[in-house]
Amino acid sequence: MPELLFEILSEEIPARMQGQAAADLKRLVTDGLREAGLGFETAHSYVTPRRLTLVVDGLPDSTPDTSEERRGPRTDAPEKAIQGFLGSMGLTLDGVEKRATDKGQFYFAVIEKKGQKTEILLKDLLEDALVNLSWPKSMRWADTTIRWVRPVHSILCLFDGQVIPVTFGPYTAGNKTRAHRFLTSAVVEVTDFEGYKKSLETGHVLLDREDRKAKIMENAEALAAQENLIVKDDPALLDEVAGLVEWPVVLTGDIGAEFLEIPAEVLVTTMRKNQKYFTLQTKDGVFANKFLLVANKETPDGGAAIVAGNERVLRARLADAKFFWTQDRKATLESRTGQLTNITFHAKLGSLAEKMARVGKLADALAGVVGADTGQVLRAAQLAKADLVSEMVCEFPEVQGVMGQYYARNDGEDDAVANAIAEHYSPAGPSDACPTGPVSVAVALADKIDTLVGFWAIEEKPTGSKDPFALRRAALGVIRLIMENGVRLNLMTVFRQAHEVLRSDMHQSDAAVQETFTFGQDLLSFFADRLKVHLREQGVRHDLITAIFALGSEDDLVRLLARVEALRSFLETTDGANLLTAYKRAANILRIEEKKDGRRYDHADGLDDKHLKENAESRLYQKLMEVGPVVTNTLEKEQFSDAMGVLASMRLLVDAFFDNVTVNVDDPALRENRLKLLSLIRSSMNQIADFSQIEGGEH
């Protein structure tokens, strides 16, 4: 079946926009094909720095003929209704038929539509796709009225080998394109995708992004092996560089031995961010005095001039870094802390110096919880942000914290203090390592919790997809610090402490900060949502987390996860699944009857054992009275599996109750007593979790 091949050639498309643009072009065109009734077998999009390409295989020559039947008004309907139907169809009475149905006699019209040629439909469809393809940034150029990410050079569009004259501004599609900008001047004439791809490769263009990535890595690893080195793994950089070249040529350069005294993190940052170089290291992980660059062309001198030029640029940058490294070490971190008063953390939350004073107080309170030395914690909190005013961090913000660690060691600070300065920002993301040192954990927790409580206190919470202060990331950081280090911490208590510190440090007349701690439960719910996100990939059910958080008293994440795990194991047993079903049945009856009666039935309001008429309800009552204190005791000892086992012992008696006892009887006193017995089932189970939040178990 025929093939559609489409390409738009332009100036260089920014690497960060390429993947989404290719996906959007494919989506717009394939959605248009389906809407037009054009089936196809496969569709693939490709992108290089200079071209967007789409190939669709298995298209038909035309859309199928269709026949559509429409029923009109009854034959005895008013004339106006009949004429309205005929007018909407473009027909007269001669063009419709009368047909009897079980509801009477109606007019019916059959609309026959001839299929349209695919080549005709494609022109409008592709032109619409070009107009509707959006870019983060676009431009107009010369005297054109169209917008595109960069100036367009040409359009290629073929269907079954024939040109479809797609028009976009002043450009009309043909059957020609160009290959590499520098390595060939030949115009490529195209008949199909296979020939197109081969011609581009002959012209030094690798169309497929994955092919370019594979070539880069293959050549990079070969060059590294020649030096007995290995390439530092960097998937994000590889993906970006593959979007900068059409014909990747990997070359090796020297950093310069005189720059190796600069911290490796600075070297990597400037090479990676500014120059897009891959770093090399020994097999022992030691930073090497060489780098890899990816050029976009082959040269007669084997890339010597390209390497020399890149080395000059890199050494100029590193000369600045070496100067900053030398100058910064002439002053201690402690001497820089006063400058933090000039940096505003937030207009309503004071300066960075004020924030770190609060962090110190909160970290001091957390030191005993995590087993950290109080003096080291206070010192680390005092110095944690001081490197922000250093020359190096002003030039390379990505190394904040890391440079503080180097400068702290240069000043003779304890290793625990230096490490905490580097690690208090962590974990900054799901792939970031989580600190384990007690001092680091205390300061990192205090920093993040102060931020969260502060922004909640001034009512600057994330909304929808907007999170300008990265509060979701801060909450996930707190969760990981607690979970991965097994920190036993009552979050509500710490939130309250942080708020008290905030209020004592800020001006009491400052109405921006809430005077009373009224937002704790809302902040805890925010943590619950983040915890669900964090645990989803680990296969933990979100409803179980909700069921535990719904108790309102559980804010120890370590204990919460132990309860969730015990609850999960319990519900996977037959007793657990059946007891959940019984709970749902009891809760549903109570909900219906409480709504009908306009009151809540609570066993604490006088469940009378004299009204226990049936053996099944008497035995269940006795069991519930035994179970309650035992569950409470096991929960206090954090023996959650034992608590679940106690619940499981109720299962047969609960089943017997529902099999043999009618709740809604005519006797009001007996009915009320049985509803209160259901309430006792509900409250006994809700000691462990709010079972109403758990999915499944519907009766």
pLDDT at 697: 61
Q: Specify if 557 maps to a domain.
A: no
Domain extent for 28: 3-62+117-202
Cβ(619)–Cβ(656) below 8 Å: yes
Is a pLDDT exceeding 80 seen at residue 496?
yes
Q: Specify if 548 maps to a domain.
A: no
Dist. CA 456–CA 517, nearest whole Å:
10
DSSP sequence for 582-640: HHHHHHHHHHHHHHHHTS---GGGT--GGG--SHHHHHHHHHHHHHHHHHHHHHHTT-H
Query: Strand, coil or helix: what is 5?
Result: strand
What mean pLDDT do residues 677-682 have?
86
Dihedral (CA of 623, 626, 629, 631) sign: negative
pLDDT at 539: 78
Residue 317 and residue 182 share a domain: no
What angle (nearest 5°) sits at the alpha carbon of residue 122, between those of residues 119 and 126?
150
Query: What pLDDT digit, counting tens, does each position of 612-631 carry?
Result: 888 888 898 888 888 888 98
Dist. CA 627–CA 640, nearest whole Å:
14
Domain count, the chain: 5
pLDDT at 563: 87
Window from 28-37, 164-173, 649-658 with minimum mean pLDDT = 649-658
% the chain with pLDDT above 90: 60
Window from 363-367, 506-510, 570-574 with minimum mean pLDDT = 506-510
Cβ(579)–Cβ(650) below 8 Å: yes
Kindly state the tokens that stand for 308: 């020399």
User: What is the pLDDT confidence band of residue 507, given thresholds at 50, 70 and 90?
Assistant: low
Mean pLDDT, the chain, integer: 91
Dist. CA 384–CA 387, nearest whole Å:
8
Give the position of tokens 């770190």.
356
Backbone angles phi and psi of 179, in degrees to 5: -95, -130
Q: In what order do the strands lie in the sheet with 278-281?
A: 230-231, 278-281, 287-295, 249-254
pLDDT at 602: 79
Is a pLDDT exceeding 90 seen at residue 181?
yes
Is a pLDDT exceeding 70 seen at residue 604?
no
Q: Specify if 482 maps to a domain.
A: yes
Q: Specify if 17 maps to a domain.
A: yes
Q: Which of 328, 353, 384 is the last residue of a domain?
A: 328
Residue 258 and residue 295 share a domain: yes
Residue 431 and residue 347 share a domain: yes
Residue 58 and residue 192 share a domain: yes
Query: What pLDDT digit, counting tens, does each position of 568-599 carry?
Result: 888 888 888 888 888 888 888 888 988 888 88
Residue 180 and residue 51 share a domain: yes
Q: Which of 304, 328, 352 is the last residue of a domain?
A: 328
Residue 218 and residue 309 share a domain: yes
pLDDT at 70: 85
pLDDT at 374: 96
pLDDT at 508: 46
Dist. CA 423–CA 440, nearest whole Å:
6
Residue 425 and residue 357 share a domain: yes
pLDDT at 342: 95
More confident residue, 67 or 75: 75
More confident residue, 391 or 601: 391
Q: Are strands 162-163 and 350-351 parallel, antiparallel or unpaired?
A: unpaired
Query: Strand, coil or helix: what is 540?
Result: coil
| Cα end-to-end distance, the chain, whole Å | 54
User: What is the pLDDT confidence band of residue 699, given thresholds at 50, 70 and 90?
Assistant: very low
pLDDT at 265: 93
- In 3D space, the residue among 112, 111, 128, 114 whose CA is nearest the CA of residue 33 turns out to be 128
Query: What pLDDT digit, counting tens, does each position of 82-103 carry?
Result: 889 888 888 888 888 888 888 8
Q: What pTM does this model have? A: 0.78
Residue 663 and residue 594 share a domain: yes
User: What is the pLDDT confidence band of residue 509, given thresholds at 50, 70 and 90?
Assistant: very low
Is a pLDDT exceeding 90 seen at residue 371?
yes
Q: Specify if 43 maps to a domain.
A: yes
pLDDT at 473: 94
Residue 83 and residue 51 share a domain: no
Backbone angles phi and psi of 187, in degrees to 5: -90, 130
Q: Specify if 27 maps to a domain.
A: yes
Query: Strand, coil or helix: what is 172?
Result: strand
Q: Specify if 558 maps to a domain.
A: no
Backbone angles phi and psi of 438, in degrees to 5: -55, -45
What mean pLDDT do residues 415-433 have?
93
Query: What pLDDT digit, counting tens, does each position of 620-674 carry?
Result: 888 888 888 898 899 889 898 998 888 888 888 888 988 888 888 888 888 888 8
pLDDT at 311: 96
Is a pLDDT exceeding 60 seen at residue 67?
yes
pLDDT at 603: 66
Residue 414 and residue 523 share a domain: yes
Q: In what order do the strands lie in the sheet with 42-47?
A: 42-47, 51-57, 3-10, 152-159, 162-163
Dist. CA 430–CA 470, nearest whole Å:
14
What mean pLDDT do residues 124-129 have?
95
pLDDT at 610: 75
CATH number at residue 449: 1.10.3210
More confident residue, 479 or 505: 479
User: What is the pLDDT confidence band of residue 698, given thresholds at 50, 70 and 90?
Assistant: low
| DSSP assignment letter at 1 | -
Kindly state the tokens that stand for 440: 């680091």
Residue 433 and residue 386 share a domain: yes
Is a pLDDT exceeding 60 seen at residue 369?
yes
Q: Specify if 631 maps to a domain.
A: yes
Q: Which of 271, 293, 328 is the last residue of a domain?
A: 328
Residue 154 and residue 103 share a domain: no
